[in-house]
């Protein structure tokens, strides 16, 4: 029997009525001859509520108990979805992570999936179960404790199940009807993409696009899982949404697929550090140990054995970065004259696999920003992306200007 994985996000299961709507979609796929694994998130807002309760009770909480609490939201949704399907006379059963079992590492709050044995669930399908409703975002550690996969982890759960069970496709139902060339809230010219390559989606997700969780795209690319992003609130046919697939499955694509942004970035500069072998390790080692997510890095021209080192990080990690650098200075690991933090910047990026074979993308991007009198503070590039840091007040203008410059409202052809 062919198998589909269908994942429903928090807004898609926010109320009993929405759960019934989602269940009807599942019922249609069962009627089409599929066995279905449904992955569900907690109802919209529930995880935040649970996290708030944990912080209120225990600000310095035990991570194992944190996982026990925050994973409960998905358990509720899974049970309600299974009950709804049963009321529709569809043989369904809910599964918590430990029942599968979805085996993970012991990193509570950010566990990684290690194995999904299929025998248990396949046996139930063989006995007549048509739908397995699995609580997303959770698994079980080698010690037998509940673990969670980090925010957005239900996407990762869905792709992992699709890979493990050899699903025909993994459909991600959310509150948007696909992947757009940029945020439609910023420019009305944003266009929904019919298809996008794994690499492009991975870059867009890592650069701030909220449609899919980064780890889920990494898994899909590694195991060649076809992903389809669809709206829970619209009627969908077989061509609806956006298919995330191999580059070879896309006949024609624009040079630039999309414009992504990350609003709340910070630019930090260490003034006058020693220009010597190992200085980068001495700086970024303590930052990594402190959990600071460093992105763009620029080292300035050296003068008389000293240099300036600039890097970006999320604005809510600035205090942590400052403490890590001051502690490293106190320990004598590094020496610098000053540490400057600019907390009013944003990152804007253009992404596209077509950039590999087309010259002039950077020039066009920089010209578009220049024409809007937007100053670039930091630049970083890869094979299929160019990112810049700019003043936050110009972020939306920059996104609109770049979308227009690369004519992303037009489909390739």
Instruction: Flag whether 174 is marked binding.
Output: yes
> Which token pair is 399?
């996104």
Of how many residues is the chain composed?
413
Instruction: Give long-range contacts, CB 8 A cutoff, 24+ apart: 361-370.
Output: 361/255, 361/256, 361/386, 362/386, 364/405, 364/406, 365/402, 365/405, 367/405, 368/401, 368/402, 368/404, 368/405, 369/398, 369/401, 369/402
Instruction: Flag whether 62 is marked binding.
Output: no
Instruction: Flag whether 180 is marked binding.
Output: yes
Instruction: Flag whether 157 is marked binding.
Output: no
Instruction: Flag whether 181 is marked binding.
Output: no
Instruction: Flag whether 211 is marked binding.
Output: yes
Instruction: Flag whether 276 is marked binding.
Output: no
Q: Whole-angstrom Cα distance, residue 279 to residue 307?
A: 10
Instruction: Flag whether 74 is marked binding.
Output: yes
Q: Whole-angstrom Cα distance, residue 113 to residue 384?
A: 28
Instruction: Flag whether 175 is marked binding.
Output: yes
Q: Whole-angstrom Cα distance, residue 19 to residue 292?
A: 38
Report DSSP letters for 2-52, one per residue.
-EEEEEE-GGGGSSHHHHHHHHHHHHHHHHTT-EEEEEEPPPTTHHHHHHH
Q: Whole-angstrom Cα distance, residue 209 to residue 262?
A: 8
Instruction: Flag whether 24 is marked binding.
Output: no
* Upstream peptide bond of 101 is cis (omega within 30 degrees of 0): yes
Q: Whole-angstrom Cα distance, residue 258 to residue 363?
A: 17
Residues with Cβ within 8 Å of 360's Cβ and at least 6 positions away in sequence, in order, are: none
Count of CB atoms within 10 A of residue 186's CB? 17
Please give the annotated binding residues for substrate, written as ranges.
Answer: 47, 74
Please give the annotated binding residues, written as ranges.
Answer: 7-10, 47, 74, 174-175, 180, 185, 210-211
Please give the annotated binding residues for ATP, written as ranges.
Answer: 7-10, 174-175, 180, 185, 210-211
């Amino acid at each position: 029997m062919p198998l589909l994985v269908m994942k429903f996000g928090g807004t898609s299961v926010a109320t009993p009525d929405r759960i019934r709507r989602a269940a009807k979609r599942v019922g249609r796929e069962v009627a089409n001859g599929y066995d279905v694994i449904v992955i569900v998130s907690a109802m919209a807002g529930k995880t935040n509520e649970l996290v708030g309760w944990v912080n209120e009770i225990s600000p310095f909480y035990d991570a194992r108990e944190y996982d026990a609490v925050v994973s409960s939201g998905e358990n509720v949704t899974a049970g309600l979805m299974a009950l709804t399907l049963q009321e529709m006379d569809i043989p369904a059963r809910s599964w918590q992570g430990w029942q599968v079992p979805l085996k993970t590492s012991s990193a509570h709050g950010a566990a990684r999936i290690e194995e999904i044995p299929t025998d248990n669930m396949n046996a139930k399908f063989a006995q007549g179960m048509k739908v397995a409703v699995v609580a997303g975002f959770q698994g079980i550690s080698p010690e037998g404790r509940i673990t969670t996969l980090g925010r957005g982890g239900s996407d990762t759960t869905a792709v992992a199940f699709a890979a493990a069970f050899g699903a025909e496709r993994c459909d991600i139902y959310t509150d948007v009807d696909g992947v757009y060339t940029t945020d439609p809230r910023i420019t009305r010219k944003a266009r929904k993409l019919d298809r996008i390559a794994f690499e492009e989606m991975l870059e867009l997700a890592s650069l701030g696009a909220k449609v899919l969780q980064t780890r889920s795209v990494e898994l899909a690319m590694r195991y060649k899982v076809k992903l389809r992003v669809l709206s829970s609130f619209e009627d969908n046919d077989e061509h609806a949404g956006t298919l995330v697939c191999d580059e070879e499955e896309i006949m024609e694509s624009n040079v630039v697929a999309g414009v992504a942004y990350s609003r709340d970035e910070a630019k930090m500069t260490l003034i006058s550090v020693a220009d010597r072998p190992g200085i980068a390790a001495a700086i970024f080692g303590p930052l990594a140990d402190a959990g600071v997510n460093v992105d763009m890095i620029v080292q300035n021209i050296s003068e008389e054995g000293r240099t300036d080192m600039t890097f970006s990080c999320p604005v809510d990690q600035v205090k942590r970065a400052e403490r890590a650098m001051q502690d490293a200075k106190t320990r004598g690991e590094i020496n610098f004259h000053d540490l400057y933090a600019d907390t009013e910047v944003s990152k804007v990026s253009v992404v596209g696999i077509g950039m590999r074979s087309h010259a002039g993308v950077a020039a066009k991007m920089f010209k578009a920003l220049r024409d809007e009198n937007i100053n670039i503070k930091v630049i970083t590039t890869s094979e299929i992306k160019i990112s810049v840091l700019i003043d936050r007040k110009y972020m939306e203008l920059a996104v609109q200007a770049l979308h227009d410059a690369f004519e992303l409202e037009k489909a390739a052809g």
